[in-house]
Amino acid sequence: MKVSCSTSFAFLILFLFAVQSMVVYAGSFHKDVQIHWGDGRGKVRDRDGKLLSLSLDKSSGSGFQSHQEFLYGKAEVQMKLVPGNSAGTVTTFYLKSPGTTWDEIDFEFLGNISGHPYTLHTNVYTRGSGDKEQQFHLWFDPTVNFHTYCITWNPQRIIFTVDGIPIREFKNSESTGVPFPKNQPMRLYASLWEAEHWATRGGLEKTDWTKAPFTAFYRNYNVEGCVWANGRSSCPANSPWFAQKLDKAGEDKVKWAQSKYMVYNYCTDKRRFPQGVPRVCT
């Protein structure tokens, strides 16, 4: 088959557009976030702002926050957690609005004694009310290599993914009276802090401060979202995440993750909810 120069050029343009659309443009810790607490325990490690570390010792932890607020978005980062005996430590990546009736979407990694797995704790708060915890033991050691954690928040659902695998979907169920975070812009936060009174086996395992400082690493931070400014949000045009939902393959991956690796689900905790599980579970 003979292909004309114009046809070849058209194919080239389509190819270049497709390649460009697949590129992930990572943000910069230098320009996108502020290390807002920790007195020097949080550090950007390279000139390009791609790698950041947070540390915890007996005096203080550390954390950073995004400069911008977002009303919906897709936020992801790669993390390598505290190795060894990390009991009592909590490493986080989450969205949160200010105030006493805040909204919040959580990834929290609860440390453990050496040889025992981290617990990945997920939760969704609306107007200051949470109580929607699901917890997982990961299928890999999150302290050896970097792994990608992503929160997709759009008007219809919140999707939590680990290395591209969806592990939880929290749908907008306002039609049944279940609140959904949709009105309060949120910042991205990350932190490393001490919570030995509850983080590991309900507080039975305490922090071994002889192992301090504890250090976690973050890299390839990237947020694409509806930026909130001057009382309104501005969304990127034609963003796939804004209407993203799980297809059959995605739903099957959630079932796989929850059947094999979920260790706590508020929807099945009858002792905690003796009058019946929350409406969002039904």
Which positions are catalytic?
104, 108
Cβ neighbours for 243, distance < 8 A, ≥ 6 positions apart: 154, 156
Whether the Cβ atoms of residue 157 and residue 245 lie closer than 8 Å to each other: yes
Whether the Cβ atoms of residue 70 and residue 226 lie closer than 8 Å to each other: yes
Beta bridge partners of 97: none
Whether the Cβ atoms of residue 44 and residue 219 lie closer than 8 Å to each other: no
Beta bridge partners of 114: none
**CA-based nearest residue to 179, from 250, 111, 118, 130:** 130
Residue 231 phi/psi, 5° resolution? 80, 10
d(Cα 173, Cα 160) in Å, to the nearest integer?
A: 17
Which letter does DSSP use for residue 207 in this model? P
Beta bridge partners of 158: 153, 170
Tell me, rounded to whole angstroms, the distance of Cα 11 from its chain centroid.
38
Write down how long the chain is: 282
Tokens of 113: 């004694």
Residue type, 101: T
d(Cα 59, Cα 38) in Å, to the nearest integer?
A: 9
